[in-house]
């Protein structure tokens, strides 16, 4: 089942269809998994710190999930949008059910827009255009994406078709709409996957069909250390 807002190809790669409505428990399991097994902090705290320092609130968190970014921002500084009712139900207020490409807000409404680990589910140029529209002048958009060389230890198990957005392509796309593009690349300490079940869940989170992930997990030795690569990018609206 493909949600109606998911675009599949823009000539640069595939989009990972989210399955949050079909399997609403997967997202909280994935977040819990990362909290327990990741050896480096996620980007949400870093993004919030930058936006608070520059006074760029309110922040629109697009495809906000359960509202992780809100936990790092002052009360009243966050607004969440998600296309999945199942995910949005777990997010704090204020929140809106909406598509990333059809944001229900007037022009120049927000000091910042966060698109963290979401653009590879979409046609990223359309989502970035929406972000640009609702940003105030000199506001920032924040984008986080994995590298195409992420998880090299599982290369044979992961899909080989490029995604619609990765950390290598993000600066180019941001530069089409935004100025002062900054890119902070990372190669984080390895993610420790202690069991084959953990490997399976990790692969599912990376877009591998569950039955394929099950078989791939059986073929690897555990515990498995997986190298995480990606980037956090910022762009400013002129």
Name the 3-class secondary structure at 213: helix
Instruction: Kindly report the CATH number assigned to the domain that includes residue 110.
Output: 3.40.50.150
Domain containing residue 64: 26-189+229-236
Residue 224 lies in a domain: no
Residue 79 lies in a domain: yes
Name the 3-class secondary structure at 112: strand
For Cα atoms 124, 15, 132, give the angle at the middle one, nearest 5 degrees: 10
Number of domains into which the chain is organized = 1
Asked whether the beta carbons of 31 and 68 are under 8 A apart, the reply is yes
Asked whether the beta carbons of 15 and 123 are under 8 A apart, the reply is yes
Residue 20 lies in a domain: no
- Predicted local confidence at residue 205, as pLDDT: 77
pTM of the shown model: 0.86
214: phi then psi, degrees, rounded to nearest 5:
-60, -45
pLDDT tens for the chain, 238 residues: list them: 233 344 444 456 667 666 555 555 555 555 565 666 665 678 999 999 999 999 999 999 999 999 999 999 999 999 999 999 988 999 999 999 999 999 999 999 999 999 999 998 899 999 999 999 999 999 999 999 999 999 999 999 998 888 899 999 999 999 999 999 999 999 887 788 999 998 998 888 777 888 999 999 999 999 999 999 999 999 999 9
Asked whether the beta carbons of 202 and 53 are under 8 A apart, the reply is no
Residue 7 lies in a domain: no
Residue 111 lies in a domain: yes
Buried b / exposed e along 113-126 (16+ C-beta atoms within 10 A):
bbbbbbbbbbbbbb
Residue 187 to residues 62, 124, 182, Cα–Cα distance (Å) = 25, 23, 17
Q: Return the percent helix, strand and coil in the chain, to nearest 5.
A: 30, 25, 40
């Amino acid at each position: 089942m493909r949600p109606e807002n998911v675009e599949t190809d823009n000539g640069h790669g595939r989009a990972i269809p989210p399955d949050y409505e079909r399997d609403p428990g997967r997202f909280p399991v994935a977040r819990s998994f990362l909290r327990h097994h990741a050896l480096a902090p996620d980007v949400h705290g870093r993004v919030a710190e930058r936006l608070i320092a520059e006074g760029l609130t309110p922040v629109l968190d697009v495809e906000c999930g359960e509202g992780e970014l809100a936990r790092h921002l002052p009360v009243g500084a966050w607004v969440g949008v998600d296309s999945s009712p199942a995910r949005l139900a777990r997010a704090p207020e204020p929140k809106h059910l909406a598509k990333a490409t059809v944001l229900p807000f007037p022009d120049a409404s927000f000091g910042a827009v966060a698109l963290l680990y979401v653009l590879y589910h979409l046609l990223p140029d359309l989502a970035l255009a929406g972000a640009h529209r609702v940003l105030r002048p000199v506001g920032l958009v924040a984008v986080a994406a994995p590298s195409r060389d992420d998880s090299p230890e599982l290369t044979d198990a992961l899909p080989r078709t490029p995604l619609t957005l990765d950390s290598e392509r993000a600066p180019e796309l941001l530069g089409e709409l935004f100025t002062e593009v900054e890119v902070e690349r990372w190669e984080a300490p390895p993610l420790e996957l202690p069991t084959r079940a953990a490997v399976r869940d990790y692969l599912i989170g990376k877009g591998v069909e569950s039955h394929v992930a099950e078989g791939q997990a059986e073929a690897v030795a555990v515990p498995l250390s997986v190298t995480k690569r990606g980037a956090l990018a910022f762009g400013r609206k002129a």
